[in-house]
Structure 1
Amino acid sequence: MGTPTLVTIYYLEMTSPDELVPAQRTVPGLAIRQARIPCPELNRFFYTTVGADWHWYERLSWDDHQWLAYLDRPELETWIAYLEDTPAGYVELEKQPGQQVEIAYFGLLPRFVGRGIGGLFLTAAIRRAWEMDARRVWVHTCTLDHPRALQNYQARGFRLYDTVEKVVELPAGQGSLTPTG
C-alpha cells in the first residue's frame, strides 16, 4: 500500500529559441554527448539512480522490451553529461506532434548535484530541442522533484503555463539511493 501525497505539477514552456537564458558559468571537464544506440540498461540506470530521491516510480516495473520499445524511436534522443569522462546525468528529449519537443526526463546523479552542471546541461538540452525543428519546447516538474528544479527551468527562460494539484499514491518502500554520511 502506498502513501497518498498531494503533489503540485508545474508545466513550463518556451515558444522561441530567443527565450533561452543560457547558463553563464563554465565547468572544466564537462562534455555532453548523445547516446546513439538505444540501450535499456543505460536509461534504466539513469532513471532509477537519478530518480531515486525524487519518487520516479512509473517505469520501475518496465522490462527490457518496454524500455527498448520506448527508446528505439526516431523521435526520442538520450544525451549524457560527463564530468571528467564520468557519467554525471542524462536528458531524454522527445519530439512530439505539432513541432513540440518535451524534455521528458532530466537530472543528475546525486554525486554531481551542486557542481554547476545542471544549468549548463539544461542549456545544451534546450538548444538541442530547438534544433529538432521545434516550435515549442516544454517540460513539467513537481513538488516531489529536486527543490531547485523549478528554479533551474525558470532561470533558463521557461515560463509557467499551467499548475495542477493532485493526490498521487507513492509506492511503499521507495527510498533514497544517496549515501548518507
Structure 2
Amino acid sequence: MSYALTTHYLEMTAPDQLVPARTPEPEPHIEQACVPLPELNRFLYTAVGGDWYWRDRLAWSYADWLQWLDRPEVQTWVLYDRGTTAGYVELERQAGDDVEIAYFGLIPRFIGRGLGGHLLTVGIHKAWAMQARRVWVHTCTLDGPAALANYRARGLRLYREETVERADPGAPDGPWPGAR
C-alpha cells in the first residue's frame, strides 16, 4: 500500500513579513536551552513528533545528538506552560545566512490553545535575530493538521511543493514504544 506524500517548502525573506499570533493568557514562558543536552532534545523530538512520524533522528546516538547540538548554528527554544514543558522550536543557521526552522511543535496535550502560533512567532523573531537572510521551513502531509496553516498565518510563503509516492508508514510511534 502506498500514499502520496506532499512536502511544502515555505519561506520569509524579510522580518516585516511576520504576522504575529496573539499572545495567550497567561503568557507562556519561552527560554533558550543554552547547554547542549541530547537528553532534552531527544525528549522534545519524540514527545512532539511521535504522533507525526518524526523518525529521522530516532537512530541517533548520544554522540550524534551532541555533535548536532554543540554548534553555534543551532538554537533550541523551549516553551513552558505554567512550568511544564509544552513544545519547542529548533533553529539552524545554514550556509548563505538562511535560518531553517528545523523542528517545531507542541506536545499533543498543549495543542489547540493558541500556544503554537505564539511559539512560532517567537521562533521566527529568534531566527531573524540570528542575522538571517531568509527564514524557511518545510512541512508535509504527515505533520500535524494545523502546521501548514500556522506557517502561512505567520506570513511564511510557499515557494515549492513536491509530491512523491511512499510506502504506508504504518501507525505513528507515539512518544515511546507502546505509549499509544
TM-score tier, shorter chain, comes to over 0.9
RMSD: 1.8
1:65-76 map, 5 Å: 65-76=63-74
Question: CA shift at 1:120, angstroms?
Answer: 0.5
1:145 maps to which residue? Answer: 143
Among 48, 72, 80, the residue aligned to 1:50: 48
- Residue identity matched to 2:7: I
Give TM-score scaled by structure 1 length: 0.92
1:31 maps to which residue? Answer: 29
Deviating more after overlay: 166-175 vs 77-86: 166-175
1:74-127 alpha-carbon deviations (Å, 9 max, x no partner):
100001000011110011100011111000000100111111100000000000
1:60 maps to which residue? Answer: 58
Structure 2: where are the runs of 5+ without partners?
none
Structure 1: where are the runs of 5+ without partners?
none
1:7 and 2:33 correspond: no
1:116 and 2:101 correspond: no
2:96 maps to which residue? Answer: 98
> How many aligned residue pairs are there?
178
Cα separation, partners in 2 of 1:171 and 1:59, compared to 1, 3 Å = farther
CA distance in 2, matches of 1:4, 1:128: 38
- Residue identity matched to 1:140: H
1:79 and 2:77 correspond: yes
CA distance in 2, matches of 1:148, 1:172: 21
**SS in structure 1 opposite 2:96?**
coil
1:157 maps to which residue? Answer: 155
Contact 1:103-1:137 within 8 A present in 2 as well? yes
Contact 1:23-1:156 within 8 A present in 2 as well? yes
Cα separation, partners in 2 of 1:7 and 1:26, compared to 1, 3 Å = same
1:117-136 map, 5 Å: 117-136=115-134
Question: CA shift at 1:36, angstroms?
Answer: 0.3
Contact 1:11-1:160 within 8 A present in 2 as well? yes
Contact 2:76-2:91 within 8 A present in 1 as well? yes
Cα separation, partners in 2 of 1:4 and 1:68, compared to 1, 3 Å = farther
Contact 2:46-2:54 within 8 A present in 1 as well? yes
CA distance in 2, matches of 1:72, 1:120: 26
Question: CA shift at 1:49, angstroms?
Answer: 1.3
**SS in structure 2 opposite 1:26?**
coil
